[in-house]
A and B are shown apart, each in its own frame.
Chain A
Amino acid sequence: MNRLESYLLISSILAALGVVTIASRRNAVAILMGIELLLNAAALNFVAFGRFVKNAAGTHPLDGQIFAIFIIVLAAAEAVILLAVIIAIYRQVESIDADRLRELKG
């Protein structure tokens, strides 16, 4: 289990699930979950690469781990805004179904 490939495999499964969720679900909250999966796949990649990949100087700087922390923080910020927008939509349309948003098209 302690090999780079196993982490990359898990993260690619996460990313694939995220993309499928974003593309196929119509519920806005479910789409948000798909986005979170995609972000976490990237974060897992960063941590795994940070652990296994050496830089040019042959050392392991903590760049990957730090990047993952920033991803977690920003994912939270993004979720806050998306949920706020979803609530604003729900107040007007009484639904969070992305297919029912048809005011704007052309």
Chain B
Amino acid sequence: MNGTVLGNVESIRYFLPEIVLVGTILAVIAFELLAGRGRAPEPPTAIGRRSPVCDGTLAIGLLGVAGSLAALLSLGYEGPLLLFEGAIAWDPFSIFFRWFFLAVAAAVLLIAHPYRPLVCLHYGEFVSLVVGTAFGMMLLASSTNLLLVYLALEMVSLPSYILAGFLRGDRKSSEAALKYAVYGAAASGAMLYGFSFLYGMTGSIHFFEMREAIASGGIPVVHLLVPIVLVLAGFGYKIAAVPFHMWAPDVYEGSATPITAFFSVGPKAAGLAVLIRFFHSVFAAGGEASLRVIGSVDWTLLLAILSAITMTLGNLAAIGQDNLKRMLAYSSIAHAGTMLMGAVVLGGSGVHAILFYLVVYAFMNLGAFLVVIAISIDKRRETIADFRGLGWRMPFLGVSMTVFLLSLTGVPPTAGFVAKFAILRALIEEEIYWLAVIGVLNTVVSLYYYARVIKAMFLDAPDPTEPALPSLSRIHLALLALFLVPTILLGFRFGVLDAIAAASRFLVVGS
């Protein structure tokens, strides 16, 4: 799809959803400053106690996200555009991700609301950081220019570092922040070094001009391979693909659980979006149906190897984990590998399958994290031992967790099965059989560690000395139902989501 290039002034209209988000960040900070003026600073004992100020910041944050969604809805879609002289894409693919990130941000704000370690702990900052990350992710999924990719990536990374260390005074949380920041800064430095060589060889930082320079040939293999590997380090770090995944288990375990849930869905999807757009716009040409690799490097093979290693290592490492957050971290690495399998398939069917998978993954993964959050609302209860007998003590939580875990495995009739099937079908249609076989084998491995949790919940007796679990808050109950229904329903009535994913697979490919 060729897009019309819009000038700076005409583009502002289409940038309204993002502008609303930036306004929200400022409004939240200003509100907290003004409403909190004259009060004594909150003593440390106030953590966990709600106040009008902290409820107000949450309300403003949610209103801002809703306003951004409304702006997106009112803009409609009439055809692909390239905003700001070709720097930002306005195409079905980027609009899909704008929706996705806004929904994820709203869900995380609501999930965090009853979580006591976070409540009223600089809540305004928490809300503005989550909204800021959402803004960065929206930018990342739509940028068509190296400079903007770098800026957006940092707009996602920098707030994430702070979010990881948000539980101040908690040693694990601070350690998670340091590990996240050091790995992240090194990965983005490597990516930047790769960008500089791509710029040097193509003479441009705009995706489509770079593609023309690469298509005209004459760039030796080595000169393309090294920058591609460096750029993959930057994107792979956001997705948590092996071998750039080392930070993930530590950061997931150390951060506050609502923030972990956010990391496992938001930045991962953003990294996947920018990876697809970068490789499909710069290193591939020929329209949707006949998209083919250009340049001297077959990057689809690189991605295929990367996804096979990511899936296998993620699943194998998850087997030995006793901490549920670490287990879910490795499982999210394995899911990143599964989604990368879709990126190997050029043409629409791969992207189509990935978009479908992402939505399903968001429901089931946020759901699984929500169960962990719901039972560890007052103190850290994150090991599998803490889940013993949960199915009998809190049946609704236990049954929901079982559904989410089965869906994460990819067992029919859950949504996870349909999503995994879509990715495998795309691979088999392209006759990449070896990768499909590895994908199926990995599903079998993953069943083992997910089933361990289910066994602990239903077959193991609860510890009799264990005090009663906290009761489920109303927000969490509503959200749990919201995640549970699609996880089951999409297992057999997936027509609507499939149509949305099919319509959203189009990327703007030039001007």
Contacts and interface: CB of A to CB of B under 8 A. Distances in A.
A74 B154 contact: yes
B376 interface: no
B379 to A, nearest CB: 17
Contacts of B321: 106
Interface band, chain A? 35 or more
A103 interface: yes
Given A67-B146, A85-B165, A38 B186 contact: yes
Interface residues of B, number: 47
B100 interface: no
Given A81-B158, A82-B182, A53 B192 contact: no
Interface in B428-453: none
A58 to B, nearest CB: 9
A88 B168 CA distance: 8
A56 B213 contact: yes
Contacts of A22: 182, 186
A61 B16 CA distance: 29
Given A35-B189, A46-B199, A49-B199, A106 B178 contact: no
B498 interface: no
Interface stretch (B7-15, B48-56, B246-254, B470-478): B246-254
A28 B176 CA distance: 14
A98 B321 CA distance: 23
A84 B162 CA distance: 9
Nearest to B178: A85
Interface stretch (B60-68, B200-208, B361-369, B418-426): B200-208
Contacts of B162: 81, 84
A49 B146 CA distance: 15
Interface in A41-82: 41-43, 45-46, 48-50, 53-56, 63-64, 66-67, 70-71, 74, 77-78, 81-82
A15 B190 CA distance: 9
B175 A55 contact: no
B458 interface: no
B182 A45 contact: no
Given A45-B196, A53-B203, A104 B147 contact: no
B174 interface: yes
A35 B154 CA distance: 14
Given A45-B193, A55-B209, A81-B162, A66 B147 contact: yes
B197 A74 contact: no
Contact of B203 (A42, A55, A85, A89): A55
Given A70-B150, A103-B172, A106-B323, A64 B178 contact: no
A24 interface: no
Given A88-B168, A106-B249, A77 B154 contact: yes
B193 A104 contact: no
B254 A103 contact: yes
A39 B192 contact: yes
A93 interface: yes
B204 A56 contact: yes
Contact of A86 (B168, B178, B192): B178
Interface string B5-31: 000000000000000000000000000
Given A49-B196, A81-B161, A104-B175, A28 B205 contact: no
9 contacts: A38-B186, A38-B192, A45-B200, A56-B212, A63-B147, A67-B196, A71-B192, A82-B185, A85-B181
Interface of B: 146-147, 150-151, 154, 158, 161-162, 165, 168-169, 171-172, 174-179, 181-182, 185-186, 188-190, 192-193, 195-197, 199-200, 203-205, 209, 212-213, 249-250, 253-254, 320-321, 323, 326
Interface of A: 11, 15, 18, 22, 28, 31-32, 34-35, 38-39, 41-43, 45-46, 48-50, 53-56, 63-64, 66-67, 70-71, 74, 77-78, 81-82, 84-86, 88-89, 92-93, 98, 101, 103-106
Closest 10 A/B residue pairs (Cβ):
A45-B196, A38-B189, A49-B200, A55-B203, A42-B192, A104-B250, A42-B193, A35-B185, A85-B177, A88-B174
